[in-house]
Amino acid sequence: MGAALSLLDFELTARLQQQLWQGEQFSTSHPNVISSGYRLLDRVLPGAGWLPGTVTEVLIEESGVGEIRLLARSLRELTTTQSRSVVFVAPPWMPNFAAFRAMHIATDKLVWVRAADEQVLWAAEQSLKQEGIGAVLVWLPKARPEALRRLQVAAQESQSLAFLFRPLNAAKQSSAAPLRMVCKPILPPAAQTMNRREWIQAVMLEIDIIKRRGPLLGKPLQLRLPLQLPALPEHLRRASQQRKAREVNHVVDSGDIAAIIARSSQAAIDAIRIGEFDFAWSEADGQ
């Protein structure tokens, strides 16, 4: 056989160049990147932000610990500036109109898809194929490696953002996702002297990137993601503040932190009744 030919000897298309990665190469910019909205995080993300056509796997202890607040600034960019839709596929909670409005996300661009476990992957793939989609967020607790490969192929072909939420124990499993992040809530240093409402506002999210196209991350990042208090109706917020003004709740470990934050998020969801819920949604029935 003749000498092996290197792809570098050819004039590659811009899209093919974006799909190539060489060893320790770390891209610091990308023309179509969507900023995370956090400068510290953008610095360690390949392309300096969320890359279109890439599945980002977010591994969390418990739903509601800050994963949506982490993406809120990007979702705002997609739904307002770019006027693109964002699809939520099988979230473990009912999306909350008031909370997203407080984050300045265009709620008329949000779509909620309810799907049975065996239909979640299909629903995500179909969502990625639609025109005008900026991002698809998928909750898939249990997924086989081939399912993750299918999702990555669908994202790559659509050139939309794709975020996959899975439990922490999935970190030990293989995954076709080019970017994998472990996200855990951590208490502020003075948490033991604060009441619960105060330290919930000061809780930070520790992000450890366990896989990326580039060198390994030296140490986890810590981002502060305060809860959106305007998500609660004013009279409920005032009553809650007065009731818990002097309450101090100590926690034992990170699992307790995750549970308390998740319950607090759920309280905000429960406080808004479905009467003013105006999300578009559809049943994914596989037909």
Distance of CA 221 to CAs 57, 58, 201, 214, Å?
A: 16, 14, 18, 16
The upper half-sphere exposure of residue 54, i.e. CA atoms within 13 Å in the direction of its Cβ, equals 25
| Residue 251 confidence class, pLDDT cut points 50, 70, 90 | very low
Given the structure tokens 């049943």, which residue do they identify? Answer: 283
Per-residue model confidence as pLDDT tens digits over 140-149 = 988 888 989 9
Nearest to 217, CA basis, from 28, 43, 44: 44
Per-residue model confidence as pLDDT tens digits over 84-128 = 999 999 999 888 878 898 889 999 999 999 999 899 999 999 999
Per-residue model confidence as pLDDT tens digits over 154-203 = 999 998 999 999 999 998 888 899 999 999 988 777 777 777 667 667 77
pLDDT at 243: 56
CB 245 within 8 A of CB 230: no
pLDDT above 50 (res 47): yes
Domains and CATH numbers, the chain: 26-274 (3.40.50.300)
Q: What is the mean pLDDT of residues 64-79?
A: 92
The CA distance from 165 to 148, in Å, is 12
Radius of gyration of the chain (CA): 20
Angle at which helix 120-128 crosses helix 145-158, to 10 degrees, equals: 20
The CA distance from 152 to 158, in Å, is 10
Q: Side chain identity at 79, as an amino acid letter?
A: T
pLDDT at 271: 39
CB 35 within 8 A of CB 159: no
Q: Side chain identity at 168, as an amino acid letter?
A: L
Report residue 48 as tokens: 């300096």
